[in-house]
Chain A
Amino acid sequence: MDVALARSWIAAIAAAVAEQADYLTQLDSAIGDADHGVNLNRGFTAVAAALSSAAEPAAVGDVFVKTGTTLVSKVGGAAGPLYGTAFRAIGKALPAGSSTVDAAELGVALRAGLAAVQKLGAAVPGDKTIVDAYGPAVAAFEKAAEEGLAVAARAAAEAAAEGMRATIEMVARKGRASYLGPRSVGHQDPGATSTWLVFQALADVTR
């Protein structure tokens, strides 16, 4: 992955979030407070503007740090800190100054992003959160990394989708959906859904 591809990935996420904003908000209105799509769309619109106005970053990691910093400062709620911290951790875990990174290095960085999300949000697998899509996606990416970025990204997107669908049967234990207790069962988690969009975007741009 080079700097241009990293930017394409972020642009693809922004496009997917914009297109699916209403769907994410609809999922969030069932078990949350009906703002996930609106907030992420505001955040990634700001990220797209920040990345296009800034001088071309020299390193892949810088693209993700910039993405994360912008999300933290524009989104609010839980999604801003969680996705912002994830992208910042991904960017910082990549070799400093590298203008290209390979699939193995990106796998290490994605794992660091997951660890940062879990540290901040204290969620474990099964809590019906971002982690339920992100965790399986990273594991699948690492397993397929030797076969190259495109194969790993596709495996990650498929695992994220499966993890996302598995949240339907889960009882929420973190975030605003947790207040519903058993009533959260039967609804797909909006955070796991947006995480799937992130990995699907990676698969799309590396195809």
Chain B
Amino acid sequence: MKKFVNDPSAVVREALAGVAAAHSDLRVDIEQQIVVRADAPRSGKVGVLSGGGSGHEPLHGGFVGLGMLDAACPGEVFTSPVPDQILAATQAVDGGAGVVHIVKNYTGDVMNFQMAAELAADEGIEVRSVLVDDDVAVEDSTWTAGRRGTGATLIVEKVTGALAEAGAAADAVAAAGSRVNEQSASFAVALTACTTPAAGKPGFDLPDDEMEIGVGIHGEPGRRREKLRPAREIAAMTVEAILGAKPLAAGSEAIVLVNGLGGTPLIELYLLYGEVAALLGKAGLRVARNLVGNYVTSLDMAGMSVTVCRADAEILRLWDAPVRTPALRWGV
């Protein structure tokens, strides 16, 4: 597999050097692997921080800035950050009002953030955690590590970031994040596996005429494999899975994300969005806001995920609030 790399083991640090060069309004600590808003910490403001394995760009570093995250800590590719790194980022954004950790529900992420929260508590920093687990492809959460955190992470980060920017207290920020998570559901379908720089070859073999249904964002195989079908049928299956798992009352408003996994062109994502929006309309949902593009990716995987978040007036207001980050920018 061809890739633009120098040394597979240096990909994350070298990419961070590029982020630093491109975005002078962010503080990038390449050694510690943390990305911090230039004006952090702000006295009295709740710090909002997230992190996870690299390979999902622009998540999370691309969402650091005004109205969203105060810091991100990228781990190695598909590997959660380490406690010391998360602690350093927590300290960098602590303005005395507490820090909220947004954690995607994966075994490693949960453990490392938990350890970091304990270290931060020892330093006198109060940490609250919001666990994101929106992926309804994981059906039997009793016998698994539980539902995964995927596309809804972006909405959680946007809403919590806006609330923190407005001066809300840590408890309120964390509660809003949890509410967005509870009201969101995501489902993903892949057409190819992805290739990590270290492995150099695809994570699984997928024949040209088949698709992997219910994939996560780490190149792990999904629940099942089927013959490829027209986009309309894939969209229908996806919407059905989402609404089947988290029924949304007719008449509700929703924020809908049609997200590329890294290797699918925008033309296909828009085609899918058209199908998804029509299906949701038929189900009695009003799509109040949408986002189409590559936001929560899985390296070079061809595929897409759909996230539906039931949005009340407060969530919509926070979604619309000004944001200025490398990957999301409006209202400013």
Chain A interface residues (CB < 8 Å from chain B): 25, 29-35, 38-39, 42, 72-82, 120-121, 171-181, 183
CB–CB B220/A179 < 8 A: yes
CB–CB A179/B79 < 8 A: no
Chain B positions 115-160 with a Cβ under 8 Å from a chain A Cβ: 115, 137-138, 140, 143-145, 148
* Interface flag for B75 (CB, 8 Å): yes
* Interface flag for B65 (CB, 8 Å): no
* Interface flag for B83 (CB, 8 Å): yes
Chain B binding surface, main DSSP class: loop
Q: How many residues of B contact A (CB 8 A)?
A: 38
CB–CB B82/A73 < 8 A: yes
A186 CB → nearest B CB, Å: 13
Given A34-B196, A72-B115, A75-B82, A173 contacting B143 (CB threshold 8 A) = yes
A67 CB → nearest B CB, Å: 15
Q: Which of B76, B83, B145, B148 has the most CB of A within 10 A?
A: B145
Chain B interface residues (CB < 8 Å from chain A): 9, 53, 75-84, 106-108, 111-112, 115, 137-138, 140, 143-145, 148, 196, 198-199, 203-204, 216, 218-224
A179 interface neighbour in B77, B111, B112, B145, Cβ under 8 Å: B145
CB–CB A35/B81 < 8 A: no
Instruction: Give the docked Cα–Cα distance between A25 and B108 (Å).
Output: 16
CB–CB A34/B199 < 8 A: yes
A33 interface neighbour in B78, B83, B137, Cβ under 8 Å: B78
CB–CB A174/B220 < 8 A: no
CB–CB A80/B82 < 8 A: yes
Query: A33-B220, A72-B115, A173-B143 provided; 9 other pairs, C-beta below 8 A?
Result: A34-B196, A34-B198, A35-B76, A35-B78, A38-B76, A76-B76, A77-B112, A178-B143, A179-B145
